[in-house]
Amino acid sequence: MSRAKASREARPPAFWYREARKGWLRRKAGSVLCCDDVPVAQLAERFGTPLYVYSASTIVDRLRAFDNAFRTIAHSVCYSVKANSALGILRLISGLRCGFDVVSGGELERVLQVDKRAARKVVFSGVGKTKEEMRQALKAKILLFNVESESELWALAEVAATLKRVAPIALRVNPDVAAETHPYISTGLRKHKFGIPISEARSLYAWASGSRHLKVAGISVHIGSQITEVKPFRATMERVAELVQVLRQDGHQIEFVDAGGGLGICYEDSSAPEFSHHVVAYAEAVVRPLRGLKVHLLLEPGRSIVGPAGALLTSVLYKKKNDGRRFLVVDAAMNDLLRPSLYNAYHEIIPTTADSHATTGRENVDVVGPVCETGDFLARDRELPIVNEGDLLAILDAGAYGMSQSSNYNTRPRPAEVLVDGKSVKLIRRRESVTDLLRPESF
Ligand SMILES: *Cc1c(COP(=O)(O)O)cnc(C)c1O
């Protein structure tokens, strides 16, 4: 059995093949790829390609599984906005009483747009917050600033003083834990730009507690992204738990422990455990070291919530062969989905129709976009069922760090985004036009 087929059956049904009904693509025997209950080919026909398609029910299911796994401890899930910051998705998530983790003033503005009252559940992370962003967040009365350096602490105290406010802070400590992931998204080692070395935390907390405009409220960590083992999370929380005790002995009120995000998903491995089990193992690793400490746990998952809930639909423009290498030139490119080019990331690619009497065979291809870079690829040396020009493909697990990392490189308007819920279909972002792109410019 093909990997694509096996994994479709093993996973929750955000995208799944369904026997084609009479009338719908009746010409072809076999089955069609659906998002929830909607054949994705219908979406492509209606909204064009490339097109991001998300399953609302999958996002809700995964958030519930996440929340449920932590039910033994006081906690709040603060969805990491940078994974997918579409207003339509933030609205869906804020409706589930979640908070948000933001890394810029722009992301905070997105959250406030969907729900003004969500500010009190917002944590603000990031290594380079500007004073203007601090002002904006203080005015909105967010829950927590995760501060990443001594200088930032000074700046925040200064801004809070001019606003006559008190900024609730956690220091983001760097636990010096190695996590096996791509080096660009590993953040928890001493040599990385993130956080404060855990050994220096104590003296900085002492300084912070001396400021009338700062209120020490917690500790935060985030060791990286796409971490599939739970061990580094446990090692991190053991170090954080120790620090909680030391800081409390020093007289600080440590109410919050922010465990960050980073739980990985399975882009390739179809034999991986189901998410609800995986997240339970993760929860156990995070919670056990904190037992008895009476802290409120904050969690910042991004990818694990929205990644598998999204796919990028793309049409095959041309097939070509150069020096024996076969290429599928598709209408999506690195500007739409950067992960393969940036991290050499693997995304499963499947045709949107599956011929049940599979007679067509398979071939090895490079799936590439129209952008003028050799680095513009979505898959390399990939065995796929043979497809034709004009056929539609789905690039799976593209819900996280897909659209949110997209750009207009090559003056390519970005794709539209569609949120599917059961049978209902909502366009949450219209396709950009070239006019949109040129508007801010003058000559
Ligand atoms: C990116 C990020 C997250 C989310 O990471 P995922 O791997 O998407 O879960 C959480 N917290 C911080 C501080 C981040 O930078």
Q: What is the pLDDT of residues 360-392, one digit of tens each?
A: 799 999 999 999 998 999 999 999 999 999 999
Please give the pLDDT value at position 179. 81
Residue of 35, 78, 98, 372 with catalytic role: 372
**pLDDT tens digit string along 151-175?**
999 999 999 999 999 999 999 999 9
**Which structure tokens are listed for 77?**
């899930």
Please give the pLDDT value at position 65. 96
Please give the pLDDT value at position 6. 41
Q: Place 27 in a pLDDT band, splitting at 50, 70 and 90.
A: low
Please give the pLDDT value at position 11. 44
Pick the CATH number of 56-305 from 3.40.50.300, 2.60.40.650, 3.20.20.10, 2.170.8.10: 3.20.20.10
**pLDDT tens digit string along 355-365?**
755 567 999 99
**In the block, residue with structure tokens 């209902």:** 424
Q: Does residue 212 register a pLDDT over 70?
A: yes
Q: Cβ of 362: how many Cβ atoms within 10 Å?
A: 12
* Closest ligand 1 atom to 82 CA: 1
234 lines ligand 1 (CB under 6 A): no
Please give the pLDDT value at position 399. 98
214 and 157 Cβ atoms separated by less than 8 Å: yes
Q: Place 21 in a pLDDT band, splitting at 50, 70 and 90.
A: low
Q: Does residue 9 register a pLDDT over 60?
A: no
With 0-12 CB in 10 A as exposed, 13-18 as middle and 19+ as buried, what is 306? buried
125 lines ligand 1 (CB under 6 A): yes
Please give the pLDDT value at position 2. 37
Q: Domain-by-domain residue ranges, the chain?
A: 3-55+308-438, 56-305
> What average pLDDT does this structure show over 307-314?
97
Torsion sign, CA atoms 64, 68, 74, 77: negative
**pLDDT tens digit string along 245-300?**
999 999 999 999 999 999 999 998 666 678 999 999 999 999 999 999 999 999 99
Please report the DSSP string for 262-300 in residue order. -B---SS-TTSPPHHHHHHHHHHHHHGGGTTS--EEEE-
- CATH architecture group of domain 3-55+308-438: Beta Barrel (2.40)
Q: What is the pTM of this model?
A: 0.94
67 lines ligand 1 (CB under 6 A): no
Greater pLDDT, 402 or 177: 402
**Which structure tokens are listed for 371?**
């952008």
Please give the pLDDT value at position 193. 79
Please give the pLDDT value at position 342. 95
Q: Does residue 4 register a pLDDT over 50?
A: no
Q: Do domains 3-55+308-438 and 56-305 have the same CATH topology?
A: no
Please give the pLDDT value at position 10. 43
Amino acid identity of residue 210, one-letter, is: G
The verdict on whether 98 is a catalytic residue reads no
- CA of 44 relative to ligand 1 center, distance in Å: 31
Q: Cβ of 358: how many Cβ atoms within 10 Å?
A: 12
What are the strands, taking DSSP E only, across 47-126?
Answer: 51-55, 75-80, 99-102, 122-124
> What average pLDDT does this structure show over 1-21?
60
* Closest ligand 1 atom to 401 CA: 8
Please give the pLDDT value at position 270. 63
Greater pLDDT, 5 or 414: 414
> What average pLDDT does this structure show over 416-431?
97
Please give the pLDDT value at position 180. 76
195 and 221 Cβ atoms separated by less than 8 Å: yes
